[in-house]
Amino acid sequence: MVDDSLLTRRRVMNLGFRTMLGVAGASIARRPGQFHSSASKPDRVASGQVSLKQRAASKGLIFGAASRYQDLRSNPNLAAALVKDCALLVPEWELKWSAGSALLRPSPDDFDFRKADWMANFAQTHQLLFQGHTLVWHLSLPHWFAKTVHAQNAEQILSQHIQRLVQHYRGRIHSWCVVNEAIAYDPRQGRSDGLQESPWLAFLGPEYLDLSFRMAAQADPRALLFYNDYGLDYDNPLDESKRRAVLKLLERLKAQGTPIHALGIQAHLRGEATDFNPRKLREFLREVAGLGLKIMITELDVNDLRLPANENTRDARVADVYEAYLTTVLDEPAVISVITWGLSDRYTYLAEDLSRIQGRDVRPLPLDRNLQAKPAWRAIAQALDQAPHR
Ligand code: G3I
């Protein structure tokens, strides 16, 4: 049984919102997991006049997006769209050890900051907050890592990486994803603490997490430091086991005085999902906030690969997912930011990671391939407009 109070409240707010806008027609409440096509719902908000960044800021929130050096540098229209709608930029590749065409760490002794510096300068030039992603992960490690790092030098290599990177951007970074995805895909298998097998765990033990946060805090005491993970969103046994394991990890870190300030919830959502339960997610957010942590939605997108082929139907379903999810999470005052994993459908890892079906492009993000606002943009705008002020 899903708690309808939240939906009822949104229905009242929607009505109020539409009355305010003079938009006829009542909103149509929906049971979580059941989404009406936009054909049965009046349009949400006029897009474009007031940017997502402005709508977020008016509620004390931050709206941002991930992007890549190669895309921002080659497409001035993308750059302009990002500056218009976003108050924060996170490099999708350039601050990882190695990803795509970005090789931050070409060798054990070298750092190549050129692409990440370009991104930091872009952010600074356009008054965008800058978020670092990610200092410690078991993926996107450079070619030399496996044959170089071992139990005797792992701490020194980790320390050198964190200190050099965090000090390099000290004073220019809003927040750091210190550790990414340290809990296994399925915490019910494997270790009792649910930790993901990784070189860091193998060489340094579970203490690598506390160590990483302490090194980052020492290198930049002013940066907001967060732990980031995925698979926390839906009402199913797998996601529930992940939420429990992440909560246990956060409780353990807090109990030992680790300098952690927030949880990053990636929020890679599924358009076809029928197990979204606002009450379940809201309960988890409340538990995280109860630890004294802030919450950041860090990689929001909606995978539409398994939705019907019709673009209007897909866009409507994707918009519904954005609105239902954001209405739920923004109800939690500890949530301080919403960051999408890309801004335009032209630049999304989902197009590269997953094969396209029947020649269709994926449509997971607020702007289409031509940087035009989609129903998803309007859904995000509406959720921001209706969010309680921080
Ligand atoms: O573009 C090249 C292509 O030319 C080449 O043939 C191919 C095979 O080498 O690689 C392609 O680049 C890949 C790129 O994705 C584009 O698909 C990179 O190797 C690959 O590293 C990169 O993957 C990134 C992934 O993180 C690993 O770093 C994705 O772009 C990025 O969106 C993804 O982001 C992650 C977050 O960091 C953590 N949370 C999950 C999220 C999605 O997986």
Taking the centre of ligand 1 as the mean of its atom positions, its distance from the CA of residue 336, in whole angstroms, is 27
Residue 129 pLDDT more than 60? yes
Q: Residue 14 contacts by C-beta under 8 Å, 6 or more apart in sequence?
A: 26, 27, 386
In a 13 Å sphere around the CA of 352, the CA atoms on its Cβ side amount to 6
Share of the chain above pLDDT 90, in %: 83
Q: Report the distance separating Cα 89 and Cα 106, nearest Å.
A: 24
Calculate how far, in angstroms, residue 245's C-alpha sits from the geometric centre of ligand 1: 26
Ligand 1 centroid from CA 348, angstroms: 10
Is residue 301 in contact with ligand 1, taking CB distance under 6 Å? no
Average pLDDT score over residue span 245-253: 98
Identify the pLDDT of residue 354: 56
Q: Is the CB of 70 under 6 A from ligand 1?
A: no
* Cα-to-centroid distance, 174 and ligand 1 (Å): 24
Q: Is the pLDDT of residue 197 over 60?
A: yes
Model confidence band, residue 12 (pLDDT cutoffs 50, 70, 90): very low
Q: What is the pLDDT of residues 334-390, one digit of tens each?
A: 999 999 999 999 999 998 755 555 567 899 999 999 999 999 999 999 999 999 999
pLDDT of residue 133: 98
pLDDT at residue number 47:
58
8 Å CB contact between 87 and 64 = yes
Residue 338 alpha carbon to ligand 1 centre in Å:
21
Query: So what's the pLDDT on residue 48?
Result: 58
In angstroms, what is the span from residue 116 Cα to ligand 1's centroid?
16
What percent of the chain shows pLDDT beyond 70? 86
42 in ligand 1 pocket by Cβ < 6 Å? no
Q: Which of 17-21, 64-68, 144-148, 320-324 shows the lowest mean pLDDT across its residues?
A: 17-21
**What is the spatial distance between Cα 240 and Cα 244, in angstroms, rounded to a whole number?**
6
**Are 307 and 275 within 8 A, CB to CB?**
no
Residue to probe by mutation, ligand 1, list 349, 353, 356, most atoms within 8 Å of CB:
349
What mean pLDDT do residues 323-334 have? 98
Lowest mean pLDDT among 270-274, 278-282, 312-316, 348-352: 348-352
Is residue 17 over pLDDT 90? no
349 in contact with ligand 1, CB cutoff 6 A = yes
Pocket-testing residue among 103, 353, 354, 356, ligand 1, by greatest number of atoms within 8 A of Cβ: 353
pLDDT value of residue 199: 98
Distance 31 CA to ligand 1 centre (A): 35
pLDDT digits (tens, 9 = 90+) for 198-237: 999 999 999 999 999 999 999 999 999 999 999 999 999 9
**Distance (Å) of CA 79 to CA 26, 305, 323, 342:** 37, 26, 25, 12
Distance (Å) from CA 202 to ligand 1 centroid: 24
CB atoms under 10 Å from CB of 157, counted, come to: 17
Give the closest residue (by CA) to ligand 1 atom 13. 100
Going from the C-alpha of 372 to that of each of 52, 92, 188, 257, the distances in angstroms are 13, 21, 42, 46
Cβ 96 under 6 angstroms from ligand 1: yes
> What's the rounded mean pLDDT across residues 72-93?
98
Atom 32 of ligand 1: nearest residue by CA position: 349
Q: What pLDDT sits at residue 7?
A: 39
Say what the pLDDT of residue 24 is: 33
Interval 26-48: pLDDT, tens: 333 344 444 444 444 545 665 55
The answer to whether the CB of 266 is under 6 A from ligand 1 is yes
pLDDT > 90? residue 3? no
For the segment 57-64, the average pLDDT, to the nearest whole number, is 98
Which one, of 313, 241, 234, lies nearest residue 274 by Cα?
Answer: 234
Within 13 Å, how many C-alpha atoms sit on residue 288's CB side?
A: 32
DSSP code of 113?
Answer: -
Q: Whose CA is nearest to atom 35 of ligand 1?
A: 92
- Over range 7-30, report the average pLDDT: 38
Least confident range from 15-19, 41-45, 167-171, 211-215: namely 15-19
- Alpha helical stretches, state H, the chain: 4-21, 52-57, 69-74, 76-85, 114-125, 145-148, 154-168, 199-204, 208-219, 237-255, 278-289, 311-329, 349-353, 375-386
With a 6 Å cutoff on the Cβ, whether 90 touches ligand 1 is no
* Ligand 1: centre distance to CA 347 (Å): 11
Report residue 49's pLDDT band, with 50, 70 and 90 as the boundaries: confident
Tell me the mean pLDDT in the region 62-84. Answer: 98
Residue 299 CB less than 6 A away from ligand 1: yes
What average pLDDT is seen over the chain? 90
- The alpha helices in 175-234, defined as continuous H runs, are 199-204, 208-219
